[in-house]
Structure 1
Amino acid sequence: MPATEPGSPTDQATKETLEDYTLRFAPRSYRRWTPMVVATTALGGIAYMADFSIGAGVGLAHGTGNALVAIAVAAAVIFVTGFPLAYYGARYNIDLDLITRGSGFGYYGSVLTSVIFASFTFIFFALEGSIMAQGLKLGLGLPLWLGYLVSTLMVIPLVIYGMKALSKLQVWTTPIWLLLMVGPLVYLVSTDPGTVDRFLAYTGTDGDGGVNTASVLLGAGVCLSLIAQIGEQIDYLRFMPPKTEADKRAWWTAVVMAGPGWVVLGALKQAIGVFLAVYILAEVGPAAATEPIQQFRGAFDAMMPSWLIVPLAVVLVVISQIKINVTNAYSGSLAWTNSFTRVTRRYPGRMVFVLVNLGFALALMEADMFSFLNSILGFYSNCAIAWVVTVATDIGVNKYLLELSPRAPEFRRGMLYAVNPVGVVAFVAASGLSIAMYFHALGDTLQPYSPVAAAVIAFVLTPFMAIVTKGRYYLRRTDDGISEPLLDAEGNPSATTYDCHVCHQPYERPDLAACHTHDAMVCSLCLSTDKVGDHVLPAEPSAA
């Protein structure tokens, strides 16, 4: 694979990009996992403790009733928007950036959303790293600054080897994590039913005891910051095996469970976070009640000897942090590399951007981002909602209902326009207006409605822009110069292989296009790094 110039590949770049199929379609020859193994691996990545903090923060501010409704509203939105994205990622074996390119944004237009997704990964890496540092401080006495550094550096060896290593890590650690998370809750509820009554009766610092729209929407806005998690789920789902008649039930179960279904477990963890925060509130105070290490320390305290409490709480936090932060570092490196390679037409290697992502995360941790968590997430959620709703609407409405967007996804340079106004205009308008609302630019009354505005504007403008433009800015070309169809008879990406004449590696049909200047084929990454455009097919005259 070319690392700097087309035609001059390095062994390291070739090995690295072929290990995870970074920036490209994941071929059938690599996808040897069963649907359930892929699903288990993907769900292992949501073992993060941030849900407990997010739920606790919303619950303590607005009360249990408002928090539970907010969590349910956010979960419903995340599930509905995540379904079409998960299906496309699993069916066509491409990540969310490649889906976004052909779903309204264009080849360069999706750089905007790649940066947003990369920001999601380092924000949540920083959040999980902060939680782990709190655990290391409580259990080992490490100062927070050192805990931040340890939590950052320890994931690097685990991220280097990609999907093969991550699948083993997630599968083996999930049972331990589930036991430590669920056990204390079951014990508290069964031995002291009064905890449930106190939990349900809690009104919060800003609440009046009832459920009201403003509080629900403010809470939902914070919870909706997790909507971009579907991108990390797709980073695993792209390795799903082909969907066939023989395995379609297992295939669909895995896609739903590990795709939009992640939010069911996420919402449950947020509700548990509210429960545990209310349980320990009188003992530790509101500031510490949002810290998962304190929540589980209090829960373990009720059911086991004192000498075992802190070690078990620390083990739970460390396992959770490792499980999610290897995913954050991995997915973030893909997003940054995607953006950099398209803009500069150079591929510096994914590990460079693992370090970049970790650097951003460490800076946030050292700035004590945990103390103003809800403000960061509330702001970020507006951008994330606008992006995900735009792509989901393009798939569900523009592709299947209006049929203005090509149904088969396209991501290769030369086949797409640089910028598609359908997605870019809808996203910029939705995120811009909702952010203005979030910062009270349109008045205090509308401020809680910023996440609703982001979703509604994106949902309305995406089909509107497709109708206005008549869908003409999706495909720069309809013919990639290869006679064989992209999909086989069962609708799965073709497994036929061809050699790329630039890097001389074999690739499956969906990853290649004909070369403009040679009677040969070029892979998608070599097209991306073609600085002079020799290999890029020209626009079709009728596509203008």
Structure 2
Amino acid sequence: MSTTESRPTAPAVPATTDQAAKETLEDYTLRFAPRSYRRWSPMVVATTALGGIAYMADFSIGAGIGLAHGTGNALVAIAVAAAVIFVTGFPLSYYGARYNIDLDLITRGSGFGYYGSVLTSVIFASFTFIFFALEGAIMAQGLELGLGLPLWLGYALSTLMVIPLVVYGMKALSKLQVWTTPLWLLLMIAPLVHLIATDPGTVDRFLSYAGTEGEGGVNTASVLLGAGVCLSLIAQIGEQIDYLRFMPPKTEANKRSWWTAVIMAGPGWVVLGALKQAIGVFLAVYILAEAGPAAAPEPIRQFQGAFDAMMPSWMVVPLAVALVVISQIKINVTNAYSGSLAWTNSYTRVTRRYPGRMVFVLVNLAIALTLMEADMFSVLNSVLGFYSNCAIAWVVTVATDILVNKYVLKLSPHAPEFRRGMLYAVNPVGVVSFVAASGLSIAMYFHLLGDALQPYSPVAAALIAFVLTPLMAIVTKGRYYLRRGDDGIAEPLLDADGNPSAVTYDCHVCRRPYERPDLTACVTHDAVVCSLCLSTDKVGDHVLPAPA
């Protein structure tokens, strides 16, 4: 089979398929990101990915935990959650960067199956609109303080302003994140350094704060309740991978910068995230006497107090508002972008119709705006505590499948697989593990298994997923991972360096060239078909059958 070959006998291109082909301009929403598109250096990709964690919700999360449970419990909870997020995020980041696929595509071949991962795509989409709503609410608070805008109008502005930026995907987002990151870091770090340098007593007050529910020291229940809230951010790794999938191939020449970028922008995001949460506790304690417990968790009030200590009063509110607005734009373009990918993935697999990513940008924004108008910010920690159980169960299941089932038990295929026809519809390994872990931990969270177990729901989610995932692989003997072992194309999937092959073929349905990992042979024609045309094939004309 020759490469980049057009076939005169190919059928007419359906309108929906032609649209799907054109939508590859939308950052390869449902497919492998080809080498021809990945022109950024490792550090540009890493900087772009790290720009996506500029959210201000970390300050609110840390403040909420610290004010309730005290500084000691908050810091330990933040550290525990960060350790779990780093360990689980490492294998996912590696797979995304090495094989140039997003977390949904990784999940398909790591225990969930072609349709089974629809469940986790919805979980991830929920993460993006929950955090979009939180960031939009924080920006609206800033606009109300700085410009006197009513909150409802601030919610609308924070939602609408990201649409022009998210339309163009990675090409526009990389420029936005790279240019705004230095200013964002300066505005965030400078007031903290000034406070510590000029008023050392703030550190003593911070360290000695016991919290409204504190018991005078560090205790397990408080730490786990706080860690559960922080662990709601475990799904952030999906947004990091949405950028890391555009990493260039790993070679001997670039392996040091490649690994640095993957670790820094992959699991390493949580280092900065944990630091922001700790700063949130510090600033909340600092302004508590003046602002009161209701306003202290609001980032705009925290930075207003911090800036007030280091500069003239006329500069305070403008700078605080600038920090909040920059942060909101940086993170919410990522939330809107990643959410649109997750919704589109789910919808296309279920309906076999591809409406275009921008449709789901608008869907995600509409849901987020509704949550903002419903004042979700006032119940922040409760929402995140509940959500974290689902997110932990999902991420730990996939990470365990990669680390244990692939590399230790060798029951899960080493190379990731995401193409329709190559996977079973549902793989019980991941689906059963996820449903059991999330279901039991949610029952614990809502006190259904007793009050004493309630703080341990995030621990239960992680442990159940970690134990059940390899157990299910052993019980099923790994038979539900691959429906086929051969995709009908002689060219190897990976090149000599272990990177996805850059050899191209023409899809005989949409008549466009795609790189080798995105294609399979067609069952009805002596030709190949791309993964997106396979996804939108309503009658299965092109899907390879299971072997006899």
The answer to whether the Cα contact below 8 Å between 1:33 and 1:241 also exists between their aligned partners in 2 is yes
Equivalence for 1:288: 295
- Post-superposition shift, 1:366? 0.3
**Alignment partner of 1:457 out of 453, 464, 485:** 464
Distance in 2, matches of 1:11 and 1:528, equals: 13
SS at match of 2:168: coil
Equivalence for 2:7: none
- Post-superposition shift, 1:17? 2.1
Equivalence for 2:486: 479
The answer to whether the Cα contact below 8 Å between 1:6 and 1:530 also exists between their aligned partners in 2 is no
- Post-superposition shift, 1:507? 0.2
Distance in 2, matches of 1:498 and 1:14, equals: 14
Equivalence for 2:127: 120
* Partner deviation per Cα, 1:294-314 (whole Å, 9 max, x = no partner): 000000000000000000000
The answer to whether the Cα contact below 8 Å between 2:396 and 2:462 also exists between their aligned partners in 1 is yes
* Partner deviation per Cα, 1:191-215 (whole Å, 9 max, x = no partner): 0000000000000000022000000
Equivalence for 2:6: none
**Alignment partner of 1:300 out of 307, 315, 327:** 307
Distance in 2, matches of 1:87 and 1:144, equals: 41
Give the alignment's TM-score, normalised by structure 1. 0.98
Distance in 1, matches of 2:290 and 2:107, equals: 47
Distance in 2, matches of 1:63 and 1:392, equals: 32
- Post-superposition shift, 1:13? 4.3
* Partner deviation per Cα, 1:264-305 (whole Å, 9 max, x = no partner): 000000000000000000001011000000000000000000
Q: Does 1:268 align with 2:275?
A: yes
The answer to whether the Cα contact below 8 Å between 2:17 and 2:533 also exists between their aligned partners in 1 is no
Amino acid of the structure 2 residue aligned with 1:203: A
Equivalence for 2:545: 538
- Post-superposition shift, 1:19? 3.7
Work out the percentage of aligned pairs sharing the same amino acid.
89
The answer to whether the Cα contact below 8 Å between 1:104 and 1:394 also exists between their aligned partners in 2 is yes
* Partner deviation per Cα, 1:341-369 (whole Å, 9 max, x = no partner): 00000000100000000011000000000
Amino acid of the structure 2 residue aligned with 1:218: L
Q: State which drifts further: 17-26 or 522-531.
A: 17-26
- Post-superposition shift, 1:410? 0.1
Q: Does 1:429 align with 2:436?
A: yes
Distance in 1, matches of 2:90 and 2:471, equals: 22
* Partner deviation per Cα, 1:245-267 (whole Å, 9 max, x = no partner): 01000000000000000000000
The answer to whether the Cα contact below 8 Å between 1:9 and 1:503 also exists between their aligned partners in 2 is no
* Partner deviation per Cα, 1:465-511 (whole Å, 9 max, x = no partner): 00000000000000000001100000000000000001011000000
Distance in 2, matches of 1:167 and 1:228, equals: 21
How do 1:194-213 and structure 2 match up within 5 A?
Answer: 194-213=201-220
- Post-superposition shift, 1:527? 0.1
SS at match of 1:288: coil
Amino acid of the structure 2 residue aligned with 1:126: A
Distance in 2, matches of 1:18 and 1:135, equals: 35
**Alignment partner of 2:370 out of 363, 369, 373:** 363
Q: Does 1:189 align with 2:196?
A: yes
The answer to whether the Cα contact below 8 Å between 2:529 and 2:542 also exists between their aligned partners in 1 is yes
Amino acid of the structure 2 residue aligned with 1:483: A
Equivalence for 2:9: none
Distance in 2, matches of 1:382 and 1:71, equals: 16
Q: Does 1:37 align with 2:47?
A: no
How do 1:8-407 and structure 2 match up within 5 A?
Answer: 8-9=15-16, 13-407=20-414
Distance in 1, matches of 2:509 and 2:17, equals: 12
- Post-superposition shift, 1:540? 1.3
Distance in 2, matches of 1:388 and 1:433, equals: 16
The answer to whether the Cα contact below 8 Å between 1:224 and 1:385 also exists between their aligned partners in 2 is yes
Q: Does 1:525 align with 2:525?
A: no
* Partner deviation per Cα, 1:378-420 (whole Å, 9 max, x = no partner): 0000000000000000000000000000000000000000000
Equivalence for 2:473: 466
The answer to whether the Cα contact below 8 Å between 2:288 and 2:296 also exists between their aligned partners in 1 is yes
How do 1:503-514 and structure 2 match up within 5 A?
Answer: 503-514=510-521
Equivalence for 2:5: none
Structure 2: stretches of 5+ with no match in the other structure: 1-11
- Post-superposition shift, 1:11? 6.3
Distance in 1, matches of 2:131 and 2:430, equals: 26
Distance in 2, matches of 1:459 and 1:287, equals: 38
- Post-superposition shift, 1:9? 4.7
* Partner deviation per Cα, 1:205-239 (whole Å, 9 max, x = no partner): 00022000000000000000000000000000000
Amino acid of the structure 1 residue aligned with 2:429: V
| Aligned length, in residue pairs | 537
The answer to whether the Cα contact below 8 Å between 1:202 and 1:209 also exists between their aligned partners in 2 is no
SS at match of 1:466: helix
SS at match of 1:48: coil
The answer to whether the Cα contact below 8 Å between 1:130 and 1:148 also exists between their aligned partners in 2 is yes
SS at match of 2:514: strand
Distance in 1, matches of 2:148 and 2:268, equals: 38
Amino acid of the structure 2 residue aligned with 1:349: G
What is the root-mean-square deviation of aligned Cα atoms in Å? 0.9
- Post-superposition shift, 1:456? 0.1
SS at match of 2:492: coil
SS at match of 2:422: coil
The answer to whether the Cα contact below 8 Å between 2:121 and 2:346 also exists between their aligned partners in 1 is yes
Q: Does 1:409 align with 2:422?
A: no
The answer to whether the Cα contact below 8 Å between 1:6 and 1:526 also exists between their aligned partners in 2 is no
**Alignment partner of 1:448 out of 437, 449, 455:** 455
Distance in 2, matches of 1:19 and 1:485, equals: 27
Give the alignment's TM-score, normalised by structure 2. 0.97
